[in-house]
């Protein structure tokens, strides 16, 4: 469960808000509902495969067994594209959060530094990185609950209705890739099935509890962030027309001052959530890549 939530937790802190610029509150909400249904059904179907074939290769193993080596190779490549391209996106979000604390340093410098430092940490000790990931995942979940506790008292339903569908129904489809950020990479849990004690039982418990936890966090985060001051307040920083990668600090800034300790705490622990996903996705991508090479 901890690994599954850790893979995904960064998606609660960034990325999803860019879908608001495409579909508005209503467009992203509808897209998110369909994505939730997709991931719930996908997760439990994937769980069946992980229990039946508890191998670290994940999608590669399943396609290889059921469809042959050629299509297995295609599935493995597709899975690794996900795990190769997601970490740079998370590194960019780490840079955006650090840039809020130190505006004098460009976010790209922070992003590159974070990518190098935490990749090196995984290389030096995967076991240490995995243990660290579990700890920061718990802290990141607690911080999301604190964020909701601070912002929900300022929630107003009218804020959800402001310019709710700016680009019409086409905005719903444009929002889908950003709604996926709420759950992206949870399938990496299947890649640790080979290391699981009694996988036929425990993979189901871990996978199932992780996706349920993420659905609850998704709904809470979406409503508490957008309900404070409308969707534009968590997409565009004040005085800027450039979309931000740090929606939660933008939302909470409408409730408390940026010098408040809870604001600083949100950014600090939010960084840990991003780091947890960064570690997890790199770890999830290593083993199937080795299997694909074989």
pLDDT digits (tens, 9 = 90+) for 25-40: 999 999 999 999 999 9
Q: Where are the beta strands (DSSP E) in the chain?
A: none
pTM reported for the whole predicted model: 0.83
Q: Is 130 exposed, middle or buried (0-12, 13-18, 19+ CB in 10 A)?
A: middle
Report residue 39 as tokens: 């991931």
Report residue 264 as tokens: 């600083």
Answer for the pair 281, 188: CB distance below 8 angstroms, yes or no.
yes
**130-141, pLDDT tens digit by residue?**
677 788 888 889
Whole-number pLDDT of residue 224:
95
Reported as a pLDDT band with limits 50, 70 and 90, residue 185 is confident
Residues 6+ apart with CB under 8 A from 288: 56, 57, 58, 59, 60, 76, 79, 80, 83, 191
Answer for the pair 15, 89: CB distance below 8 angstroms, yes or no.
yes
**Tokens 């809470």 sit on residue:** 220
């Amino acid at each position: 469960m901890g690994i599954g939530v850790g893979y995904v937790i960064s998606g609660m802190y960034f990325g999803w808000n860019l879908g608001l610029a495409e579909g508005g509150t209503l467009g992203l909400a509808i897209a998110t509902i369909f994505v939730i249904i997709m991931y719930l059904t996908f997760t439990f179907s994937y769980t069946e495969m992980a229990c039946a074939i508890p191998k670290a290769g994940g999608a590669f193993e399943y396609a290889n067994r059921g469809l042959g080596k050629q299509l297995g190779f295609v599935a493995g490549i597709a899975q690794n594209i996900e795990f190769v391209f997601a970490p740079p996106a998370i590194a960019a979000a780490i840079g955006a959060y650090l840039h809020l604390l130190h505006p004098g340093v460009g976010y790209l410098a922070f992003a590159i530094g974070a990518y190098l430092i935490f990749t090196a940490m995984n290389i030096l000790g995967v076991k240490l990185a995995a243990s660290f990931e579990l700890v920061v995942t718990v802290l990141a979940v607690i911080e999301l609950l604190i964020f909701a506790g601070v912002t929900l008292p300022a929630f107003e339903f009218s804020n959800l209705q402001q310019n709710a569908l700016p680009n019409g129904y086409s905005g719903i489809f444009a929002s889908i890739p950003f709604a996926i950020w709420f759950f992206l990479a949870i399938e990496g849990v299947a890649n640790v099935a080979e290391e699981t004690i009694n996988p036929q039982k425990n993979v189901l418990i871990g996978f199932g509890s992780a996706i349920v936890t993420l659905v609850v966090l998704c709904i809470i985060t979406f409503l508490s962030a957008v309900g404070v001051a409308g969707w534009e307040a968590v997409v565009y920083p004040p005085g800027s027309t450039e979309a931000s990668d740090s929606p939660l600090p933008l939302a909470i800034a409408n409730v408390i001052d940026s010098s408040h300790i809870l604001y600083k705490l949100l950014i600090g622990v939010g960084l840990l959530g991003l780091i947890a996903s960064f570690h997890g996705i790199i770890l999830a991508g290593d083993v199937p890549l080795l299997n694909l090479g074989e």
